[in-house]
Amino acid sequence: MSRNAHPDAMAPSKPGRTRTAPPQLPDQFPFGGRYLAYTLFDLTGILYLLLGFLVLCAVWSLGSGEAAWNGVLERNRSMLYVGFHAIALVGVIFVGIRFFGFFPKAQPPRIGPVKPPPKPVILAMLYALWIGVTAFLSIVLAGGIF
C-alpha cells in the first residue's frame, strides 16, 4: 500500500540566502510597449481557428447539395464575412512579415564553403517569392490557368 508523502519532503534542508520575488505581470502587459506585437501575433491564432471553421462549413456544404453550397456563397457575400476576411488578410500578412523578419536571423553563418547572402537580399527573395506564389494562386483561382 502507498501513503501520501510528507508535505515538506522535497523542501531544502536549510533556507536559501535570498528570497524570490512573487510573480508579477510587467507594467505594460498585454497591450503596451513591445507586448503589443506579441499579443497581436497571438491573437492571429483565433483568426486561423475561425477561418478553419469557415472552411469546414464550406466543405460540409459541398456534400450537402447545390442549395447548401449556394447558401454558403450568398453568406460569404455579406459585409460581415467580407470584413472578417479583410481582417484575416491583414492578420496573415502581419504573420508573414514577422516570419520573414525572423528568417534571416535563423540562417547558419556558413552553408558549406559559401556564406549566406546579406539580410536585405534574403528578404527581397522571400518577398518576391511570396508575391509570385500569391499572384500564381490568384490567377489559378480566378480561372485564368487550368
Q: Indicate whether 19 pLDDT > 80.
A: no
| Claim: this prediction has a pTM higher than 0.85 | no
52-80 pLDDT tens trace: 999 999 999 999 999 999 999 999 999 99
C-alpha cell at 82: 467580407
- CA 49 to chain CA centroid, Å, is 10
Residue 137 · residue 130 · CB < 8 Å: no
Alpha-carbon distance of 51 to 58, in angstroms, equals 11
DSSP symbols for 61-106: HHTT-HHHHHHHHHHHTSHHHHHHHHHHHHHHHHHHHHHHHHTGGG
Alpha-carbon distance of 99 to 101, in angstroms, equals 5
Q: What percent of the chain has pLDDT over 70?
A: 99
**Reported confidence tier of residue 2, pLDDT bands at 50, 70, 90:** low
Residue 140 · residue 146 · CB < 8 Å: yes
Indicate the SS3 state at residue 114: strand
pLDDT of residue 39: 93
Residue with cell 467580407: 82
Q: What distances in angstroms separate CA 17 from CA 12, 14, 20, 24, one per listed residue?
A: 12, 9, 10, 21
Alpha-carbon distance of 4 to 117, in angstroms, equals 61
